[in-house]
Amino acid sequence: MELSKAVNSSTTIKKEKKYSPLRELLKNWKKQKNALWASLFILLLITVAIIGPFIAPYDPYKPDYNAMLQGPGIDHIAGTDEYGRDIFSRLLFGARISLTVSFLSVFLGAIGGTILGLLSGYFGGWLDRLIMRSSDVMFAFPDILLAIAIVAILGPGLTNVVIAVSIFSIPSFARLVRSSTLEAKETVFVEAAKSMGASHFRIMFQHILPETLGSLIVFISMRIGTAILAASSLSFLGLGASPETPDWGAMLSLGRDYLGTSTHVVMMPGIAIFLTVLAFNIVGDGLRDVLDPKTKNE
Amino acid sequence: MSKTLLKVTGLKKSFSIPAGMFEKKKLLKAVHDVSFMIPEGKTFSLVGESGCGKSTTGRLISRLIEPGDGEIWLDGEEISQKKEAQLKGMRKKVQMIFQDPYASLNPRMKVRDIVAEPLTIHTNLSRAERYKQVSEILEVVGLSDYHANRYAHEFSGGQRQRIGIARALIMKPKLIIADEPVSALDVSIQAQILNLLKELQAEFDLTYLFISHDLSVVEHISDHIGVMYLGTIVESGPKEVIFSNPQHPYTKALLSSIPIPDPKLRRERIILQGDLPSPVNPPAGCRFHTRCPVAMDICKGTEPPVKPGETAGHFVSCHLVE
Ligand SMILES: Nc1ncnc2c1ncn2[C@@H]1O[C@H](COP(=O)(O)OP(=O)(O)OP(=O)(O)O)[C@@H](O)[C@H]1O
Ligand code: SF4
Ligand SMILES: [Mg+2]
């Protein structure tokens, strides 16, 4: 087998086509049909988050008491809410809030969890036990309960939602990175780096972290879906965005009272949340197939 | 006689291994009382079956695993008990070459960064200066600067091992520990790499600790050979003596298994009986007595002392040797 590997690699050299990890990734990505669509949807969503406020047909905050609780129609394509505010415009604004909150909280949680997981897996011993026991304690709470507890302590508001969601993301990132670290630290190239006198810092960040990156990226995209759900739930419960904010969760919460009569008030933000979470999960699955094939069957 | 670069005395290392729930923790005696020395510019080879403790010896000397007992003198300095922070000098003087050229090179780094890594760690050279040295050293090992911008998996096994050698050379080390550097390679490539190592030794005045399970591989490159069995060196001496006048029954058995091209010279093949005993419970007395074709009663109870042979530098541990 080694011989055939050697033959293959020497032929790639002969072809004179330069290998690039990015090109390889893009090539494999195009094969993932669902993930391709989902990622286009996310791209659209990101665009909306950026330019949404400029293309929104109405002011999302401005009540219009002549147009309360209208169903979807020509004037208001997604209808209006109890104050006559244009739901479509509010959804566009809400995309920015949802994406910012979820990206930020997952990103912060990923950084915190990655550092803890690296330290835990690399050094082992009492540090490992401390970090892992603390995350076990956090795992004992259902995700959302933990976030609620944190917001209850910090007080409501979007900033605190970000903090809460990032804190509840930390343990799962720490576990993930720890297990890849345990594997990576046994590799011969890590032993080689040690024999050269590389510092712990260098070994962790130059040699071990890149090994964890594949599964980390997959997990990040999955967690964004979870974070959107968590943030929306907090807002729905009145612990996140204040009610007048065009946050998807807050919009859901307001629409509760009209479920029987004006279903669209709840449906519209509900669909937005559903599609977004779904898209991130599909992208996560696709990324897993491309970047991290060995965890596929877990 | 030239200066001694590496001197190892009484080196020991045990690993504690997990035992059953109600048992006492077991100790696996991987290296047991190993002593040898290497003069500057020479090659000492450690040879023995898989599991006899060769790699552990190499890792102890390169301070990759926690030290056990014994002394390690490198270039006049005792390094076995030093803390990592005090080993900076030693890390520059000693470099390693590994068996598996696929696993020992980081797959996510470009060749030039892999080869430059010792410089990155130990010097303040600018990136441009480092890369300049990389292209020089790549030429030396038979690659070219043109290869520097690629990833390791684009190369064949032999080329990768050259990359590994370039990395080991770039700090201009004194001692290179090569742990089975050719056993993962095709036979046709093995000779090329061995020749390269030999040429580099002359050019850079390198000292080698060469580890192999195969006596035929070390014949060409060695000055001295130490034959290991179950954690101990049972016979050591100049290459010529080991090959033409071996005294220890285990050395004779190893030699007899090397195929000889000339059928008239055919040696009688000595096939060892039984399995390699576990290093957790090594046999009492002579560790080889369970498999030795000429074992005597005394061998079961008394460990044979190390005795000098007829030639200078030749040592044997066997009750048969007077
Ligand atoms: N970290 C470790 N923990 C426990 N046991 C170990 C460890 N490293 C090596 N051993 C054991 O020590 C003994 C000697 O191993 P070592 O790797 O030194 O042998 P070797 O001569 O290099 O063999 P090989 O030819 O297979 O590489 C073996 O029984 C091995 O299982
Ligand atoms: S001491 Fe005895 S058992 Fe050991 S090698 Fe010599 S003859 Fe064989
Ligand atoms: Mg070995």
3-state helix, strand, coil in chain B (%, to 5): 35, 25, 45
pLDDT of residue A18: 63
Q: What angle do CA B273, B11, A194 make, to 5 degrees?
A: 105
Q: What is the largest CA-CA distance in chain B?
A: 67
Candidates A13, A16, A196, partner chain B, best to mutate (most B CBs within 10 A) = A196
- Alpha helix locations (H) across B146-186? 157-169
Least CA distance to B188: which residue of chain A?
Answer: A3
Q: What angle do CA A238, A244, A245 make, to 5 degrees?
A: 85
Contacts 24+ apart (CB under 8 A), A274-278: A275/A41, A276/A42, A276/A45, A276/A98, A276/A225, A276/A228, A277/A225, A277/A226, A277/A228, A277/A229, A278/A38, A278/A225
Which ligand sits closest to the CA of B68? 1
- Contact with chain A for residue B87, Cβ under 8 A: yes
Provide the 8-state DSSP code for B311.
Answer: S
- Alpha helix locations (H) across B205-229? 215-219
Q: Which residues of A touch B96 (CB under 8 A)?
A: 192, 195
Domain residue spans in chain B?
232-322
The CA-based dihedral angle spanning residues B316, B73, B30, B220, taken in that order and rounded to the nearest 10 degrees: -60
Q: Which of B100, B122, B154 is closest, CB to CB, to A13?
A: B154
Instruction: Say if the Cβ atoms of A194 and B64 lie within 8 Å.
Output: yes
Least CA distance to A201: which residue of chain B?
Answer: B121
> Which residues are bridge partners to B298 per DSSP?
none
For A276, phi then psi, to 5°, come to: -65, -45
> Which residues are bridge partners to B11 per DSSP?
B34
Q: Which residues of A touch B109 (CB under 8 A)?
A: 206
Helices A209-236 + A248-255 axis angle, to 10: 30
CA-nearest residue, atom 1 of ligand 2? B318
Instruction: Say if the Cβ atoms of B103 and A198 lie within 8 Å.
Output: no
What element of type H or E holds B1? Answer: none
First-to-last CA distance in chain A? 27
B142 lines ligand 1 (CB under 6 A): no
Instruction: Say if the Cβ atoms of B98 and A197 lie within 8 Å.
Output: no
B287 CA closest ligand 2 atom index? 4
**Structure tokens of B298?**
């005394």
pLDDT of residue B258: 77
List of chain A residues with pLDDT < 50: 1-16, 296-298
Instruction: Say if the Cβ atoms of B95 and A195 lie within 8 Å.
Output: yes
Residue keyed to tokens 């190993």:
B34
B54 CA closest ligand 1 atom index? 21
Q: Which of A13, A187, A207 is closest, CB to CB, to B103?
A: A187
Least CA distance to B62: which residue of chain A?
Answer: A195
Closest CA to B84 of A287, A50, A7, A199: A199
Q: Which residues of A touch B118 (CB under 8 A)?
A: 196-197
B54 lines ligand 1 (CB under 6 A): yes
Residue keyed to tokens 């004037």:
A75
User: C-alpha distances in angstroms, A172 versus A112, A134, A219, A223, A227?
Assistant: 11, 12, 9, 10, 13
What element of type H or E holds B274? Answer: none
User: For A66-106, what is each residue's pLDDT tens digit?
Assistant: 877 788 888 888 888 888 899 999 999 999 999 999 999 99
Q: Which of A18, A191, A196 is closest, CB to CB, to B117?
A: A196
User: C-alpha distances in angstroms, A79 versus A55, A58, A83, A179, B151?
Assistant: 17, 12, 11, 49, 56
pLDDT of residue A17: 56
Candidates A195, A202, A211, A213, partner chain B, best to mutate (most B CBs within 10 A) = A195
Residue B26 makes CB contacts below 8 A (sequence gap 6+) with B16, B17, B19, B280
CB B105 within 8 A of CB B163: yes
- Contact with chain A for residue B100, Cβ under 8 A: yes
Whole-number CA gyration radius for chain A:
23
- Alpha helix locations (H) across chain A? 2-15, 21-30, 33-55, 87-123, 125-139, 143-154, 158-184, 188-196, 200-202, 209-236, 248-255, 264-291
Q: Which residues of B touch A207 (CB under 8 A)?
A: 106
Whole-angstrom distance, CA of residue B226 vs CA of residue B222: 10
DSSP string for residues in A116-164: HHHHHHHH-HHHHHHHHHHHHHHHTS-HHHHHHHHHHHH-SSHHHHHHH
Q: Which of B88, B94, B98 is closest, CB to CB, to A188?
A: B98
Candidates B91, B110, B117, partner chain A, best to mutate (most A CBs within 10 A) = B117
- Contact with chain A for residue B121, Cβ under 8 A: yes
Residue B188 makes CB contacts below 8 A (sequence gap 6+) with none
Residue B258 makes CB contacts below 8 A (sequence gap 6+) with B215, B216
Closest CA to B275 of B107, B87, B49, B25: B49
Contacts 24+ apart (CB under 8 A), B181-185: B181/B97, B181/B98, B181/B99, B181/B210, B182/B212, B182/B217, B183/B99, B183/B212, B183/B213, B183/B214, B183/B217, B184/A2, B184/B99, B184/B100, B184/B101, B184/B102, B184/B157, B185/B101, B185/B157, B185/B158, B185/B161
Closest CA to A195 of B69, B59, B39: B59
Domains of chain A: 34-46+80-296 (1.10.3720.10)
A→B contacts (Cβ < 8 Å), by residue, are 2-3, 5-7, 9-10, 12-13, 18-19, 21, 187-189, 191-199, 202, 206-207, 210-211
List of chain B residues with pLDDT < 70: 1, 21, 260-268
Which SS3 state, helix, strand or coil, does residue A28 take? helix
User: For B268-283, what is each residue's pLDDT tens digit?
Assistant: 677 777 788 889 989 9
* Residues surrounding ion ligand 3 at CB below 5 Å: B 55
Residue keyed to tokens 């130990």:
B122
B19 lines ligand 1 (CB under 6 A): no
Residue A212 makes CB contacts below 8 A (sequence gap 6+) with A114, A117, A118, A176, A177, A180, A181, A184
**Structure tokens of B213?**
């399970």
Which amino acid type is present at position B276? Answer: L
pLDDT of residue A12: 43
CB B246 within 8 A of CB B255: yes
CB A223 within 8 A of CB A106: yes
Least CA distance to B165: which residue of chain A?
Answer: A192
**Structure tokens of B280?**
């957790």
The CA-based dihedral angle spanning residues A273, A274, A278, A280, taken in that order and rounded to the nearest 10 degrees: 0
Which SS3 state, helix, strand or coil, does residue A102 take? helix
Instruction: Say if the Cβ atoms of A197 and B122 lie within 8 Å.
Output: yes
Task: Give the count of beta carbons closer than 10 Å to the beta carbon of residue A16.
Answer: 6
**Structure tokens of B176?**
């290179």
Which amino acid type is present at position B108? Answer: R
pLDDT of residue A9: 44
CA distance B79 to chain A (A): 14
CA-nearest residue, atom 26 of ligand 1? B50
Instruction: Say if the Cβ atoms of B91 and A196 lie within 8 Å.
Output: yes
